[in-house]
Amino acid sequence: MTEYAKKGHPILGIVLGVLGIIAALFLCVMTGWIGGAIAGILGLIGLLLGIFAVKGGKKGGGIGSIVVGAIAILLAVVMTFTTIASFTEMRKIATAEETPLMAKYMDNPGLGLMGVVLNMGKDLEGKDQAAQDDLASKLKAEFDILNKKLEESKGK
């Protein structure tokens, strides 16, 4: 066995923890729970590498990996639940404001923005340019309605 197999690798743990933090901040919004799972796995691996480094007796090594890995795991959980809750709330608002296309496209909040794109792709599949332009203008009108309501609520 190599030295790193016996004692862990704290530098790799820090790198994976940082990648987990970045994944939690960006992938969770883009892909929902999938990004949260990726970030959580990266954070968990970083955390374990730090624990093995501390148990292996490396002087000062491993603590950074443990901290960064734990932060990545925490952010992954928080960002995943926040993203799902946000998209669920946006769907409720779109339904209440009678914007059926926006509500329809936000039907899969667990996938974040990817869910919106996938649902929209179902409507655009096999359509010609005129139908795509019509859908785009309807979405723009619904977006303007929601944006106007948001500005009115800020003004109160």
pLDDT digits (tens, 9 = 90+) for 109-142: 899 989 888 888 887 887 788 888 888 888 888 8
Task: Give the whole-angstrom CA distance, residue 19 versus residue 46.
Answer: 9
- pLDDT one-digit tens code per residue, 13-23: 999 999 999 99
What percentage of the chain reaches a pLDDT higher than 70?
Answer: 92
Please state the domain extents for the chain.
3-155
Using alpha carbons only, what angle is made at residue 107 by residues 27 and 135, rounded to the nearest 5 degrees?
Answer: 100
Tokens of 37: 């799972």
pTM of the predicted model, to two decimals?
0.80
Report the percent of the chain where pLDDT is more than 90: 37
Residues 67-86 pLDDT 10s: 999 999 999 999 999 999 99
Q: What is the pLDDT of residues 41-60, one digit of tens each?
A: 999 999 999 998 888 776 66
pLDDT class for 29, splitting at 50, 70, 90?
A: very high
Asked if residues 61 and 10 have their Cβ atoms less than 8 Å apart, the reply is yes
156 C-beta neighbours (distance < 10 Å), count: 4
